Every structure is written in C-alpha cells, then in structure tokens.
C-alpha cells in the first residue's frame, strides 16, 4: 500500500545516483545514506525453484492482502512487476506497530519486515501464478518507523532480505534502500517496496498420458500435487486440452490439474462417426468414467464452451463430486445464444437442408479465427498459430462428419438449459464466471444470467475473447487462485 511518506528530493537524488553507479559501474556495494546495493551476478540459479524452497523451509504464504484504498497491489509492465507498499498485516490490520527505538526494539522490527516480505511474496504469487517466474528481485525498499537517533534500520531490513535470499538464492539479491521515517500507514513498524524481474512463464512438469475408457484411448494432461485440490478442465470447440497450458504453467504449483481431450479431439481416439455417437450425453458418460478411472472423487469443474454442456451433465449425474464450478464462456441460458445462432437453429430444425451451409461456416478459417479474436480491436495480441493450428485440425479426414454430428446434437443442450438452471438454483454451488468481453460466439448478457441462478456467483468480464486464456492468462490464474482459497 502507499506509504504516504514524503522523501526529500535530496535523498531521492542520492538514491538514484547510487543505483546508477551500481548498475553501470559494477560496484559491489555502495553505502550512501542507508543505501545497500548488492552486486549484479547471474540472474538465475539453474534448477532452483522458489516454490520448492518454500516447501523445504516449511513456509506457507499468507493470503494476499487486499488493498486498503483505490489502487492495485501489483502492476506489471513488460518483464517488471512492481508491488505497492507491503505492511506487516494479517486479516486487514497491522500486527506489529510502533517505532523502533520507542514502542518496539529492532528485533520486533525484523519480525515486521519478515511478515511484510511474506505478504509481498503472496501478492507476487497471486499475480504471477508461480514464484518460479521470478528471475531476480531488482529492488527492495525498506521504510522503518524510527524514533530518535536510532541507527538499526539496516538490521531491521535484514528481516526481509534474509527471507528473500532463503527463497530465491543469494545470486538474486536485490539492490536495497533503507529509510528511517517518522510514521507509516496503520501505525506499522515497517513498509516494503519491491520490484521483480519476471519471465513470460515457467512450465512446471506436465505429464502427457493416455488411459483406456470404454475401449477408447483418452489423452489427458496432468500436473500438480495429487493431494492438492483437483481442477478438472473441459475444453471447447475446436480446441483440446492444449488450451489450458497457460493455466498449467501458473496453477500447478498449488493445484492438481487434469485436462482430457474428448473423443474426436486432440490426441484422443477419433472413432468413425458412422459407428460412434458424437453426442454430449456420450461425452459426459465417458468423462464420468474417466474421472472414476483416475480416482477423482471430488473436484472443481472448469468448463469452457463445449465444456459447459459436458460438465453440467456430469454435475447433474454426480453432484456429490462437485466442489465448485468455473465457467469460462460457456452458455447455460437460451438468451445466451444470440442472433448469429439463427442459421444454426435452422440446421437443428432441418439438418439435410442446412448441412452444407453449416459445414462451410463452422469449419472455415474465418470462423476459426473469429472464435479467438472476436471484435477485439487489438488483434496484434493474438498468436495466429492459435487458429491456423485449429483450422488444420478441422481439415483432417473425418473431422467434418464428427463436428457436424456434435454440433447437430448441440440442440439437446438448449433443451437441457432449464434443468441446469434449476440445479444451480437448488444447489447454489460455489460458482466463478469468467467472460471475454470480445466474445462473438455468445451474448454478453450470459454472465449476469448465471448470477440470477446463483446470486453469490463471482463474475469477471475480461479484456479478452472467447478463448480468454489467449490474452488474459495471468489475470485468470490470479482470479482462480483467489476463488479456490
């Protein structure tokens, strides 16, 4: 949080000069007006995992503190993550208050710095998804509430510095500035400011497996501790479990993630449509058998697009297995299918007369691209491989028949919407709704329709498209972490 402390221009100038000297002259350590500047060694330690170190140290990070005012706890620009001022708070209040040299001694100040650093790491993890994305700590600023002629501020600051070194390693020690100030917000003894350098993403180990379900080879991705809360991720059209890779990189440090491919998608078997029923009822039956084969007795369902019809059927069949629901651009209300669904409804009414037109639209490159980009004016944010890969998949032998059969069966979802709504109204499941505001596949009114069924639902409309993970993976990971607490 903002310290509200005015640092004199002279002190600011001294700090800036010291930092520039350290960065560009290679000074090992400059000591000016309480400024400690560490050397700049290599930025990474091969094989060192901050998340693993936390476990080895027996450290459980606290919940990330909520802002005390109108500001963001963390802001990322490029590869730098800036944290707002961090206080030694628990449950929204400062737990170590007072001035070093008056109400508390340096030892209590060290404890305050340690707790503030834990809060900083909790905020960084919430934003990044994993502390393993931190390549180094660039700067640590430590403000110490001080009375009289106290000179122990660097010792107090070590309460934070030593924790950071234990977690990230000596080679990632930051430049450090230490200030003695008259007072801090909430009467806290210490406030920290931190800047991290971060990588685009760190991929924790993911296992790519197959298992036999009802005579079919079902491919699935799995990551994370098996004794952690399980999130079962159900993909959309025309994607596969691959769409969830951004979340695997950001959530598997804390959650057990499972993402299967349906039959006819990805790396699962593609039985001929003449002998296999490509229906949502059949998919739900197979996915239920899949969870049983893996011994998943309790899980959160993460449902995107086609994952909604599959997941809701699973939930109604086995409600005792459902810990919570996460809906990402999946419809459960008729009004969620807008005007662009009129020709698709005509296909449901008369398949023979509308089959050719439906296939041309559903399987085209333009439609495949639009599913991702929607009406987002910033198309440069999207990797074109997203839709060219899917278009290549849709043009594989047999795919036209598979996708046509499945889309024809989509009409049964519309018939089932009232049942799903009634189930939600009766059960009041824990529900998180994530929605890309540029999604042209479904109506923008759909997120609030969920809230009518589940008034306590958590709803987030994102600066993203139908496949919101394309551009909002960091934000979604942070929201999911908060929801899963």
From first to last of its 485 residues, the chain has per-residue pLDDT tens of 444 444 344 344 434 434 443 343 333 333 333 334 333 333 334 446 898 899 899 999 998 898 888 888 888 888 899 999 999 999 889 999 999 999 999 999 999 999 999 999 999 988 887 888 898 999 999 999 999 899 999 999 999 999 999 999 998 899 999 999 999 999 999 999 999 998 865 445 789 999 999 999 999 999 988 889 999 999 999 999 999 999 998 998 889 999 999 999 999 999 999 999 999 999 999 999 999 999 999 999 999 999 999 999 999 999 999 999 999 999 999 999 988 899 999 999 999 999 999 998 889 999 999 999 999 999 999 999 999 999 999 999 999 999 999 999 999 999 999 999 999 999 999 999 999 999 999 999 999 999 999 999 999 999 999 999 999 999 999 999 999 98
Contacts of 118 (CB under 8 A, 6+ apart): 59, 61, 62, 163
Q: What tokens does 483 get?
A: 């929801």
CB of 457 within 8 A of CB of 424? no
CA atoms of 265 and 242, how far apart (whole Å): 11
pLDDT at 129: 75
pLDDT of 113 reads: 96
Measure the CA–CA gap between 318 and 327, rounded to whole angstroms: 18
Question: Token pair for residue 241?
Answer: 């479990």
- Please, which contacts does 426-429 make with residues 24 or more away whose CB atoms are closer than 8 Å? 427/319, 428/454, 428/456, 429/315, 429/322, 429/324, 429/325, 429/454
Are the beta carbons of 424 and 416 closer than 8 angstroms?
Answer: no
Which tokens in the block code for residue 470?
């394309």
CATH class of 207-484: alpha beta
pLDDT score recorded for residue 393: 96
The CATH 3.40.50.1820 domain(s) of the chain lie at: 207-484
- Its pTM stands at 0.64
Edge-to-edge strands, sheet with 431-436: 207-213, 216-223, 256-260, 230-234, 299-304, 322-328, 431-436, 458-462
d(CA 111, CA 425): 47
> Which residues in 61-72 are b (16+ Cβ under 10 Å) and which e?
beebbeebeeee
CA distance 440 to 11: 53
Residues 6 or more apart whose Cβ sits within 8 Å of residue 134 = 50, 124, 128, 168, 172, 196, 197, 198, 199
**Among the options 114, 127, 235, 466, which is catalytic?**
466
pLDDT at position 84, please?
A: 93
Is the separation of the CB atoms in 35 and 15 below 8 Å?
A: yes
Whole-angstrom distance, CA of residue 103 vs CA of residue 148: 12
- Output the CATH code of domain 9-198: 3.30.1330.40
Whether residue 466 lies in the annotated active site? yes
Cβ neighbors of 173 (< 8 A, separation 6 or more) are 38, 137, 161, 164, 165
- Strands 207-213, 230-234: pairing is unpaired
396 neighbors 267 (Cβ within 8 angstroms): no
| Termini Cα distance of the chain | 22
In the Cβ-directed half-sphere of 111, how many Cα atoms lie within 13 Å? 10
For residue 54, what pLDDT is reported?
92
How far, in Å, CA of 157 to CA of 186, rounded?
Answer: 19
Q: What integer pLDDT is reported at residue 48 of this predicted model?
A: 62
Predicted local confidence at residue 69, as pLDDT: 85
Would you state the structure tokens that stand for residue 47, as one six-digit string?
């094989």
């Amino acid at each position: 949080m903002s310290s509200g402390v005015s640092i004199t221009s002279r002190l600011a100038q001294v700090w800036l000069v010291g930092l520039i000297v350290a960065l560009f002259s290679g000074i090992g350590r400059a000591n000016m007006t309480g400024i400690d500047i560490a050397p700049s060694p290599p930025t990474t330690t091969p094989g060192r995992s901050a998340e693993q170190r936390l476990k080895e140290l027996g450290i459980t990070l606290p919940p990330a503190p909520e802002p005390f005012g109108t500001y963001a706890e963390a802001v990322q620009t490029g590869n730098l993550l800036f944290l707002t001022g961090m206080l030694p708070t628990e449950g929204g209040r400062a737990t170590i208050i007072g001035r070093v040299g008056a109400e508390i001694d340096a030892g209590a100040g060290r404890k305050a710095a340690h707790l503030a650093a834990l809060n900083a790491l909790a905020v960084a993890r919430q934003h990044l998804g994993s502390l393993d994305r931190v390549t180094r700590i660039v700067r640590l600023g430590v403000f110490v509430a001080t009375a009289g002629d106290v000179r122990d501020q660097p010792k107090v600051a070590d309460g934070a510095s030593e924790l950071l070194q234990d977690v990230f390693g000596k080679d990632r020690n930051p430049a450090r500035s230490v200030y003695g100030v008259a007072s801090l917000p909430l009467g806290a003894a210490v406030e920290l400011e931190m800047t991290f350098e971060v990588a685009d993403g760190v991929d924790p180990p993911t296992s790519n497996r197959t298992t036999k379900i009802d005579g079919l080879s079902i491919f699935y991705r799995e990551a994370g501790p098996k004794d952690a809360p399980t999130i079962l991720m159900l993909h959309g059209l025309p994607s596969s479990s691959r769409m969830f890779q951004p979340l695997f990189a950001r959530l598997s440090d804390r959650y057990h993630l499972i993402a299967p491919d349906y039959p006819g998608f990805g790396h699962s078997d593609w039985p001929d449509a003449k002998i296999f029923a490509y229906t949502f009822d059949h998919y739900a039956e197979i996915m239920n058998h899949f969870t049983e084969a893996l011994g998943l007795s309790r899980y959160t369902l993460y449902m995107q697009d086609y994952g909604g019809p599959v997941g809701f059927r699973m939930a109604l069949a086995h409600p005792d297995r459902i810990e919570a629901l996460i809906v990402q651009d999946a419809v459960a209300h008729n009004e969620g299918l807008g005007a662009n669904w009129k020709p698709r409804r005509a296909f449901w009414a008369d398949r023979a007369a509308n089959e050719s037109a439906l296939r041309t639209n559903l399987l085209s490159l333009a439609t495949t691209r639009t599913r991702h980009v929607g009406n987002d004016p910033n198309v440069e944010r999207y990797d074109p491989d997203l839709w060219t890969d899917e278009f290549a998949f849709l043009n594989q032998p047999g795919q036209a028949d598979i996708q046509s059969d499945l889309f024809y069966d989509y009409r049964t979802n519309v018939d089932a919407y009232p049942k799903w709504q009634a189930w939600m109204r009766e059960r009041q499941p824990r529900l998180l709704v994530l929605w890309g505001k540029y999604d042209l596949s479904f109506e923008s009114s759909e997120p609030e329709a969920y809230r009518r069924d589940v008034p306590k639902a958590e709803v987030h409309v994102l600066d993203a498209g139908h496949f919101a993970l394309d551009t909002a993976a960091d934000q979604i990971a942070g929201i999911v972490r908060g929801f899963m607490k």
